[in-house]
Structure 1
Amino acid sequence: MVQNLNPATVQGREYLAIPGPSVVPDRVLRAMHRASPNIYEGALVEMTHELIPDLKRVARTEHDVAIYIGNGHAGWEAAMANVLAAGDEVLVPSSGRFGIGWADMAEGQGIRPRVLDFGSHAPWDMARIAQTLADDKTHQIKAVLAVHVDTSSSYRNDIPALRALLDDLKHPALLMADCIASMGCDRFEMDAWGVDVAITASQKGLMVPPGLAFVFFNDKAAAARAAQPRVSRYWDWAPRVDPDFYAAFFCGTAPTHHLYGLREALDMIHDEGMTRVWDRHAQLARTIWAACERWGSSGAFQMNVPDPHQRSHAVTSLRLQAPDGARLRAWVEAHLGLTLGIGLGMSTADDPKGEGFFRFGHMGHVNGQMIMGLLGGVQTGLTALNISHGSGAIEAAARVLAGR
């Protein structure tokens, strides 16, 4: 029988442990808590120009970045609007819901997606991707739409290997990477990896509320933009990266308070250092995996991605026997103030509604005590609900975090 906890146990600050929007630091919230500024001249204009090089440092690029008011889906559409036209064909290798979603958005723009769907429980099959590209003798495929980390399945896909395939085959397709879940969490290096277009958004590793999308692009992508017969006035990145007046940065009124928050978030990232940010996410992910492996030693608990080398450092997709995933999420939120992510787009033949799936978000503004609190909360929920699981999870996580 489940025992109800004292209502006092849900007081205090709640913990949103979903894979975006992520926890917004108090520093960012304070920076945003101000009166509206002058959007025509002065400090805001100067600050915006200063944001650009710091954004490019996060993406590890010397090339251009355009800022859009919108979410990650807006970033998808903006990127495609600049380099693809109706009737163009794109290749979309998919290891989860977001590869399928990007392909669907392409189709809505009149672009023809060729989807290689590897499901939500398997990584990319590089041999199949290579064969598809090799068979494209006349280079009808104009771009490869590649999701670096699929937030639904938590697979981290091999972008450098995809670049190597394109180079080995001398295929001219643009390599376009969705880094919405990965940038600022998992290692990503746009220029070193040969990515032509990279897309991210503000609400995950960048630690800012939802509302900004960023599209980074290199000279090859800029040439593709120049060859387009037309580009939507709003999505066109050319005036945004070389504006003749401030409002052209955003094709209208600036997202003023998001910019203040972004300035503070970028300061936090670069004060820590990108390599240290990646290392922190990697260690916290290993801490979570250690606990999950112990929970999975008995019962139905399992990680969706069995190979640690293919797991994201920002999100972990998990499974219990249905409907225990949904029960666990509901219990820890109601009794502990801890919110876990839903099993977005995840299902199996024996669990068509995905009620066994759930996710941990561990991206952006997270540290050791937050992760241990997350794990302790899940342990409490598993115990309260009598869900079968292995023992020693918290001790295993503590050893990883302690470096033992």
Structure 2
Amino acid sequence: MDNKLMLMIPGPTPVPEQVLLAMAKHPIGHRSGDFTQIMAEVTANLKWLHQTESDVLMLAASGTGAMEAGIINFLSPGDRVLVGCNGKFGDRWAEVCQAYGLNVETIKAEWGKPLDTEQFRVQLEADTEKQIKAVIFTHSETSTGVLNDVETINRHVKAHGEALIIVDVVTSLGAVNIPFDTWGLDVVASGSQKGFMIPPGLGFVAVSPKAWTAYSTAKLPRYYLDLGKYRKDAAKNSTPFTPAVNLIFALQAALRMMQAEGLESIFARHQRLTQATRAAIKALNLPLFAPDYAASPAITAVIPDQIDAEKIRSVIKKRFDIALAGGQDHLKGKIFRIGHLGFVGDRDILSAIAALEATLQDLGYEDFSPGAGVAAAAKVITHS
């Protein structure tokens, strides 16, 4: 049967029908009064989602573009930065920093393990001359299914006093609580095809007053990604360059849906789906790649030890039209990842786990009782 694809990957994530319909409207002029009104509403709702009174700026870019903007607008060539690397995306931010001539020091953890917050504390406390200008890392490392401890690392950054904290929240914003103002974060970057529940193409950067102070003396080159331009135009509910008009229609609809559900309900749903998925995988006697205490709300990574991960992905796609994510870099072929981010509900998890059970049986894996995974997931769902 055609057109029944079920996306269970960390992005792009499923898109609600009303969001797709909003995106299908005829474009309007991005300098028109009607578009200005939409921008005013969207900007206010983005601040609500980020839990901030500070600027939240929108780019026609991917999450990587938003994160690059979040790095280059507040630093100067040769600045010393600490970059947390425990997966594909932490490694990427180190590469971005190196490309712009920053003095990069990495704090590493094995893929599948969270960053050690104590290493950040030690490095920051040792910097008595306040040479570290930024601490940069990924909150939800979707390459491994690990959630890093932003709150604790941020406390160490605040104790340092000088450094900015710049965080990739691409797959955690809209899935887990990130109170930007309460925690005093400086820069967070995200992308539209994740918790926002819309297709790829928009990037978002929230910026604190402290970061804007750093912007005034930052000397890294920038033009299209110059956030000062976006801030100036955002004050007039406009944009410095041509925006992705129809994606902003979609964003308007998605943010209305999110407000109707409410932040606490959104966070609780993602927590429930994460716990249900992990309980199901354990019931199927499949090893989880990340520990329970650091489980990402976006994705659950599984490292099967008796069956090929790519065969599982291939069969479940062919037989049930369900897309699971694979491993990246040295994990390619070793893990598969089940997404539960954005427009995903209880029914989706139960369906995916049932299909996974049938796939495992088809591939000759017998180290579980049929129905055990679905029962374990259902128990979490019905008791949450």
TM-score normalised by L of structure 1? 0.91
8 Å Cα contact 2:326-2:335 kept in structure 1: yes
Whole-angstrom CA distance in 2 between matches of 1:248 and 1:84: 26
Say whether 1:222 aligns with 2:212: yes
Q: 1:66 is aligned with what amino acid?
A: L
**Count of equivalent residues:** 382
The 2-side partners of 1:180 and 1:343 are apart by: 18
Which residue identity lines up with residue 85 of structure 1 in the other structure?
Answer: S
Cα 1:40–1:246 shift into 2, 3 Å: farther
Does the 8 A contact of 2:100 with 2:220 survive in 1? no
Tell me the alpha carbon deviations over residues 209-266 of structure 1, each in whole angstroms, 9 at most, x when there is no partner: 00000000110000000112465221111221221897961x3212100000000000
Distance 2:171 2:113 in 1: 18
For 1:109, the aligned partner's letter is Y
What is the Cα deviation at residue 95 of structure 1? 2.0
Q: Take 1:77 and 1:146, find their aligned partners in 2: how far apart are those partners?
A: 12
1:317 aligns to what SS in structure 2? strand
Q: What letter matches 1:398 in structure 2?
A: A
Q: Structure 2: any 5+ residue segments left out of the alignment?
A: none
2:292 paired with 1:320: no
Runs in 1 of length 4+ with deviation above 4 angstroms? 244-248
2:361 matched residue in structure 1: 383
TM-score w.r.t. the length of structure 2 is 0.95
Q: Does 1:201 align with 2:181?
A: no
Alpha-carbon deviations, 1:85-134, whole Å to 9, x = none?
22112101222111111111111111122111102122111222221222
1:164 to 155, 161, 164: 155
Q: Letter of the 1:286 partner, please give it.
A: Q
Q: How does 1:166-205 map to 2 (within 5 A)?
A: 166-168=157-159, 170-205=160-195
The offset of 1:374, in angstroms, is 0.8
Does the CA-based 8 Å contact 1:179-1:200 persist in structure 2? yes
- 8 Å Cα contact 2:40-2:237 kept in structure 1: no
For residue 12 of structure 1, report the CA deviation from its aligned partner: 4.9
- Correspondence for 1:260: 249
Name the CA distance, whole Å, in 1 between partners of 2:73 and 2:306. Answer: 43
> Are 2:120 and 1:136 equivalent residues in the alignment?
no
Task: Note the 1:72-111 alignment, pairs <5 A.
Answer: 72-111=63-102
Contact 2:77 2:102 in 1 (8 A): yes
CA distance in 1, matches of 2:220, 2:148: 32
Cα 1:244–1:181, aligned 2, differ >3 Å: closer, same or farther?
closer
Q: Which amino acid aligns with 2:356?
A: V
SS at match of 1:305: coil
* Matching residue's letter, 1:399: K
Residue 31 of structure 1 and its aligned partner are, at CA, apart by: 0.2
Report SS of the residue matched to 1:124.
coil
Distance 2:243 2:51 in 1: 25
Cα RMSD over matched residues?
1.8
State yes or no: 1:273 paired with 2:262: yes
Give yes or no for the alignment of 1:367 onto 2:367. Answer: no
Deviations 1:158-211 (A, max 9, x none): 11101222234x341101111001000122111112211011110000011000
Q: Secondary structure at the match of 1:242?
A: helix
Partner of 1:232: 222
Structure 1: unaligned runs, 5 residues or longer:
1-9, 348-353
Counterpart check, 1:357 vs 2:335 = yes
Deviation (angstroms), 1:345: 3.3
- Stretch moving more, 229-238 or 363-372: 229-238
Residue of structure 1 equivalent to 2:379: 399
